[in-house]
Amino acid sequence: MKKTLLLLLALLLVWPVMAQRQMAKIAILETTSKNKRAPVENAILEQVRSALQTGVKNSGVYMLFSRERIADIMKEHDFQRSGMVSDSEIRKFRFAGVDYILSSTATMSSDGYLVVSGEIINIETGEIMQSVSGTMCRTSPKIAQCCKDIGIYLSKGRDAQVRTQYCDGDGPATGEYTGYNNQGRNGTRKPITQTNKTVVAEDLSAYYTFDNNTYDGTENQQHASAVGNLNYVSGVNGSAIHLLTSKKQRLNIAYSLLDNLRSWTVCFWIKDFGTGMIFGEMSGSSVGRGLVSTSDGHLALLSSYSLYQFDYNCRHLQNSGWHHIAIVSDGNNHSTSLYVDGQKVDELSNSMSNSRGGKIVFGASTDRYPATSFKLDNLRFYRHAISPDDAQTIFKAGQ
């Protein structure tokens, strides 16, 4: 009996050590500023990294590699952190007994919000096991909470129970996290809910599928953020978002996706829209370019204070299910075309190439052109004018 008790006591003492040895080791690298021209303050970068570490630690999934040892490795192998970690840098950690690394960046959006992106990389294979971004207010409590939850999500994936709102009041402050398929470091990272191959992917600068998140599915990772708690509804292929003016819901894309482009394309699926502004290129309270649904059933392009109306009447589209809309601006031909469900239906003799720049806002509103409610799916931005065949291909693919 005495021997049995001693054996049990020994197992109780040894078991935590054995369990810890079985846990994978992760090295959390220093958070870097994504935009070197407008870097995030070091104090904020340090707070982001600290909160990410807290989240990873609280998840209980990984054993943390000491920060001092990480610094030693980086000093020994003489490499600097500058955003994404290269394959050669990953191999250097492998020899130190690290199983995974967490790499993170931070940047400021045009509206003054902090955007933090992180990814966990498998040292052995170089695959990105999980990737996520969060947008938050630039206050210490919000950064601490949001980045801790990002760390938990990166560790646990869809099993993580995290908050989705990190800012009081009206502002882009969601943290609707998602993972990515393991496509490898050189592969295209697509949301895990997206299974179909993206058609017409050439020169696609941003693609939002809205499969329960507002992330850009291209490698550019120009993620959008939500104002108000978005409603996800059944979409064309998967889920879509429902922007309601009664709740002042908007989709903010804090990147100048159309700025300084001679030719460009914006296309999307839309349902149940009424009279008002659908999207606008906002700079402060001013709108550069935008798309408006007029009271007499037409779509019209807004350029500063001028409205250019298509002759094609879209009233029959407003309450008749999902329809694909493509606005194609061709600077070479000085024209802007309207495509509906894959077919060119109208053209304006204006390329709409002039722009004040600024963020893109769906559900935007001005004094002259209030917003309209609508459902939105599969939003794309191109740096060129897509062809009629491309418009037809996107429509037929339901993307």
Does residue 315 sit in the same domain as residue 249?
Answer: yes
Among 236-250, 258-272, 276-290, which is the least confidently predicted range? 276-290
Does residue 31 sit in the same domain as residue 137?
Answer: yes
| Final residue in a domain of this structure, among 159, 186, 216 | 159
Q: What percent of the chain has pLDDT over 90?
A: 33
Could you give the dihedral angle defined by the CA atoms of residues 315, 319, 323 and 326, in that order, rounded to the nearest 10 degrees?
Answer: 40
Q: What's the distance, Cα to Cα, between the start and end of the chain in Å?
A: 70
Could you give the dihedral angle defined by the CA atoms of residues 47, 52, 55 and 59, in that order, rounded to the nearest 10 degrees?
Answer: -160
For the segment 206-225, the average pLDDT, to the nearest whole number, is 90
331-340 pLDDT per residue, tens? 888 899 999 9
Token pair 């037409």 is found at 298
In the structure, what pLDDT confidence band is assigned to residue 285 with cuts at 50, 70 and 90? low
Q: What is the pLDDT of residue 250?
A: 92
In the structure, what pLDDT confidence band is assigned to residue 185 with cuts at 50, 70 and 90? very low
Q: What is the pLDDT of residue 85?
A: 53
| Final residue in a domain of this structure, among 159, 185, 217 | 159
Q: Is residue 99 part of a domain?
A: yes
Q: Is residue 191 part of a domain?
A: no
Average pLDDT over the chain, rounded to an integer: 78
Does residue 361 sit in the same domain as residue 266?
Answer: yes
Q: Is residue 193 part of a domain?
A: no
Domain count, the chain: 2
Does residue 91 sit in the same domain as residue 215?
Answer: no
Token pair belonging to 132: 């996520």
Q: What is the pLDDT of residue 320?
A: 79
| CATH number for the domain that contains residue 359 | 2.60.120.200
Pairwise pLDDT comparison (8 vs 310), residue with the higher score: 310
Does residue 92 sit in the same domain as residue 222?
Answer: no
Work out the number of other CB atoms within 10 angstroms of the CB of residue 183: 13
- Would the pLDDT of 240 be above 50? yes
| Final residue in a domain of this structure, among 137, 159, 181 | 159
Does residue 267 sit in the same domain as residue 149?
Answer: no
How far is residue 268 from each of residues 185, 231, 380, 381, measured CA to CA in Å? 29, 18, 6, 9
Q: What is the pLDDT of residue 182?
A: 30
310-324 pLDDT per residue, tens? 999 999 999 878 999
Written in H, E and C, the secondary structure of the chain is CHHHHHHHHHHHHHHHHHHHHHCEEEEECCCEECCCCCCCCHHHHHHHHHHHHHHHHHHCCEEECCHHHHHHHHHHCCCCCCCCCCHHHHHHHHCCCCCEEEEEEEEECCCCCEEEEEEEEECCCCCEEEEEEEEECCCHHHHHHHHHHHHHHHHHHHHCCCCCECCCCCCECECCCCCECCCCCCCCCCECCCCCCCCCCCCEEEEECCCCCCCECCCCCCCCEEECCCEEEECCCCEEEEECHHHCCEEEECCCCCCCCCCEEEEEEEECCCCEEEEEEEECCEEEEEEEECCCCEEEEEECCEEEEEEEECHHHCCCCCEEEEEEEECCCCEEEEEECCEEEEEECCCCCCCCCCEEEECCCCCCCCECCEEEEEEEEECCCCCHHHHHHHHHHCC
Does residue 237 sit in the same domain as residue 374?
Answer: yes
Q: Is residue 289 part of a domain?
A: yes
- Would the pLDDT of 362 be above 70? yes
Does residue 209 sit in the same domain as residue 76?
Answer: no
Pairing of strands 239-243, 231-234: antiparallel
Does residue 87 sit in the same domain as residue 213?
Answer: no
Q: Is residue 229 part of a domain?
A: yes
Do the beta carbons of residue 129 and residue 100 sit within 8 Å?
A: yes
**Can you give the pTM of this predicted structure?**
0.54
Q: What is the pLDDT of residue 1?
A: 54
Does residue 254 sit in the same domain as residue 378?
Answer: yes
Cα gap 205→296, rounded to integer Å: 33
Among 56-60, 112-116, 193-197, 347-351, which is the least confidently predicted range? 193-197
Q: Among residues 339, 265, 337, which one has the least CA distance to residue 308?
A: 337
Pairwise pLDDT comparison (355 vs 215), residue with the higher score: 215
- Would the pLDDT of 170 be above 70? no
Token pair belonging to 331: 């600077």
Q: Is residue 92 part of a domain?
A: yes
Q: 282 is in which domain, residue-wise?
A: 204-397
19-54 pLDDT per residue, tens? 444 678 899 998 988 877 778 888 899 999 999 999
Q: What is the pLDDT of residue 228?
A: 83
Q: What is the pLDDT of residue 77?
A: 52
Q: Is residue 34 part of a domain?
A: yes
Residue 64 CB contacts under 8 Å (≥ 6 apart), including other chains:
25, 26, 28, 53, 56, 57
Pairwise pLDDT comparison (325 vs 79), residue with the higher score: 325
| CATH number for the domain that contains residue 83 | 3.40.50.10070
Does residue 118 sit in the same domain as residue 262?
Answer: no
Token pair belonging to 193: 């809910």
For the segment 346-355, the average pLDDT, to the nearest whole number, is 75
- Would the pLDDT of 239 be above 80? yes
Cα gap 268→14, rounded to integer Å: 59
Q: Is residue 284 part of a domain?
A: yes
Q: What is the pLDDT of residue 76?
A: 56
Cα gap 281→357, rounded to integer Å: 7
For the segment 87-91, the average pLDDT, to the nearest whole number, is 59
- Would the pLDDT of 289 be above 70? yes
Cα gap 399→397, rounded to integer Å: 5
Residue 36 CB contacts under 8 Å (≥ 6 apart), including other chains:
none
Does residue 143 sit in the same domain as residue 233?
Answer: no
- Would the pLDDT of 172 be above 50? no
